[in-house]
């Protein structure tokens, strides 16, 4: 794979390698106002110019994933507010390499002047109120048909006002990194990586990406559902994307605190990291996925793009996750060295971890599950009878377990046990995983890079 610059190891030792922090002032002339770390061998690590290492998952394919490493001074930004982030991102059609350093937590629900915005602010002037919406579309009087009319139009208008504020379009050739030690992240916002190539997202906490105006769909399932509209990070038609050392969480607004309307939970959260609409060559590693329901969707439908949706997911920690870790369709997905803790946390009770459907070709190897004593191994997986889950070396509560065999023994729609491809981009694959739960707890997610 071609590379624009040397490829230092992007991960800290799982055994806690000693580091020496060098002040930015001392090295500004060489690398700009960044934060450097020197490891025991004195090799500098510059988070902002780092590229995905060779063979590190599907995103290493082709020319690899280099993000904004070639950015000049005019396209290197440090941002701390929503308005600054919008300016730094610029136009989604501008492909000039750029580096965006996020310092501290950016609240997406703020105005250009920094004023805090609420759901009521977005609804103002549209005519929308939740009480009027509930009255207009109560199934007992309105029936089981898609909402249409004055209140649905008003809801859409209010939703569009929020969307303009909290959705951030990411251009091609961009690196977005949280500045170490600043609790860097985005609260209530959605990064949209759409129809662009070569993007790096690292060391950020994505919290409470909340839709103020969920839509009622009485035709969704047997009882209807409230559907929200924003993922914390969404890839749509994106290619060569590396998501590394981020934390995704609903906190501080847990689903259990939301009301129930029409007999269904008023769901204000959508996906954490969704990979859809023909996205391809993606590596998702060393993230923490916490306190969330529909966590990761690969493939927007059963007819998403054949030949794409190639995704590697490794060394991630999933805890307090209800489902979709991931839900995979169509593509070639490699899951290795992930930890799934299925303990119920903050009301998020697990339904399943991995769902392979629509002929997805999943290879899941050397992952670790921690499950309660009364939990069933057969419920760790899900499928529609067309998807595959191959792979060996998975552990459940420290014991080697054939999780596919357990699922198939309990279900009529069997998972296929062979895949039509063999992973080769497997950098960092650990064959011994007995200590993985402990290792990943302290070395994954935002704030662990320095």
pLDDT tens string 424-448: 999 999 999 999 999 999 999 999 9
Q: What percent of the chain has pLDDT over 90?
A: 90
Note the pLDDT of residue 59: 99
- Give the pLDDT mean for 341-359: 98
Note the pLDDT of residue 43: 53
> Hey, what are 228's tokens?
């929200």
Question: What is the tens place of the pLDDT at every residue in 100-148?
Answer: 999 999 999 999 999 999 999 999 999 999 999 999 999 999 999 999 9
> Hey, what are 163's tokens?
């969307």
Note the pLDDT of residue 30: 33
Mean pLDDT, the chain, integer: 92
* Residue 449 predicted with pLDDT over 80: yes
* Contact in structure between 364 and 354 (CB atoms under 8 Å): yes
* Residue 19 predicted with pLDDT over 70: no
Note the pLDDT of residue 45: 72
* Residue 61 predicted with pLDDT over 70: yes
- Give the pLDDT mean for 357-368: 98
* Residue 21 predicted with pLDDT over 90: no
C-alpha–C-alpha distance, residues 229 and 274, integer Å: 12
Question: What is the tens place of the pLDDT at every residue in 301-315?
Answer: 999 999 999 999 999
Q: How confident is the model at residue 20 (pLDDT cuts 50, 70, 90)?
A: very low
- Give the pLDDT mean for 375-395: 98
Question: What is the tens place of the pLDDT at every residue in 42-60?
Answer: 455 799 999 999 999 999 9
C-alpha–C-alpha distance, residues 192 and 277, integer Å: 12
Q: How confident is the model at residue 450 (pLDDT cuts 50, 70, 90)?
A: confident
- Give the pLDDT mean for 26-52: 54
* Residues in CB range of 442: below 8 A, 6 or more apart: 16, 448
Note the pLDDT of residue 349: 98
| β-strand pairing of 76-79 with 98-102 | parallel
Phi first, then psi: give them for residue 162, nearest 5 degrees.
-70, -40
* Residue 276 predicted with pLDDT over 60: yes
Cα-based angle 224, 146, 266 (whole degrees, multiple of 5):
40
Note the pLDDT of residue 388: 98
Question: What is the tens place of the pLDDT at every residue in 148-200?
Answer: 999 999 999 999 999 999 999 999 999 999 999 999 999 999 999 999 999 99
Question: What is the tens place of the pLDDT at every residue in 316-335?
Answer: 999 999 999 999 999 999 99
Note the pLDDT of residue 44: 55
* Contact in structure between 171 and 196 (CB atoms under 8 Å): yes
* Contact in structure between 428 and 13 (CB atoms under 8 Å): no
| β-strand pairing of 185-187 with 205-207 | parallel
Tell me which residues are annotated as active site.
324
């Amino acid at each position: 794979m071609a590379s624009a610059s040397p490829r230092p190891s992007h991960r800290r030792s799982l055994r806690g390698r000693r580091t020496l922090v060098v002040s930015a002032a001392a090295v500004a002339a060489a690398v700009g106002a960044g934060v450097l770390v020197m490891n025991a061998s004195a090799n500098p690590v510059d988070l902002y110019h780092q590229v995905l290492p060779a063979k590190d998952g599907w995103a290493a394919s082709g020319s690899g994933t280099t993000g904004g490493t070639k950015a000049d001074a005019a396209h290197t930004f440090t941002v701390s507010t929503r308005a600054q982030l919008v300016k730094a991102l610029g136009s989604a059609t501008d492909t000039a390499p750029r580096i965006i350093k996020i310092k501290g937590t950016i609240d997406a629900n703020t105005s250009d002047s920094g004023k805090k915005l609420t759901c009521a602010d977005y609804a103002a002037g549209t005519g929308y109120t939740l009480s009027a919406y509930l009255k207009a579309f109560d199934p007992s009087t309105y029936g089981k048909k898609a909402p249409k009319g004055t209140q649905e139009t008003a809801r859409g208008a209010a939703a569009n006002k929020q969307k303009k504020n909290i959705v951030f379009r990411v251009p091609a050739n961009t690196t977005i990194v949280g500045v170490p030690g600043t609790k860097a992240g985005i609260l209530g916002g959605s990064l949209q990586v759409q129809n662009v190539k070569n993007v790096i997202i690292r060391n950020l906490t994505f919290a409470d990406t909340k839709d103020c105006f969920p839509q009622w769909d009485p035709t969704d399932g047997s009882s209807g559902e409230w559907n929200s509209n924003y993922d914390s990070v969404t890839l749509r038609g994106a290619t060569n994307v590396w998501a590394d050392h981020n934390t995704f969480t609903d906190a501080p607004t847990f689903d259990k605190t939301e009301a129930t309307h029409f007999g269904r939970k008023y769901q204000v959260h959508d996906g954490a990291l969704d990979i859809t609409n023909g996205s391809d060559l993606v590596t998702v590693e060393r993230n923490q996925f916490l306190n969330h329901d529909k966590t990761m969707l690969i493939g927007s439908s059963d007819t998403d793009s054949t030949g794409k949706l190639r995704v590697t997911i490794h060394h991630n920690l999933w805890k307090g996750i209800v489902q979709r870790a991931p839900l995979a369709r169509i593509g070639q997905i490699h899951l290795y060295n992930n930890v799934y803790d299925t303990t119920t946390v903050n009301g998020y009770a697990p339904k399943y971890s991995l769902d392979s459907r629509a002929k997805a070709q999943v290879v899941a190897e050397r992952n670790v599950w921690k499950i309660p004593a009364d939990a069933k191994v057969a419920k760790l997986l899900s499928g529609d009878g067309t998807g595959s889950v191959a792979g060996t070396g998975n552990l459940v509560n420290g014991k080697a377990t054939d999780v596919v065999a357990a699922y198939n023994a309990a279900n009529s729609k069997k998972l296929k046990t062979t895949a039509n491809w063999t992973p080769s981009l497997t950098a960092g694959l650990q064959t011994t995983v007995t200590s993985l739960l402990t290792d990943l707890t302290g070395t994954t997610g935002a704030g662990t890079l320095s």
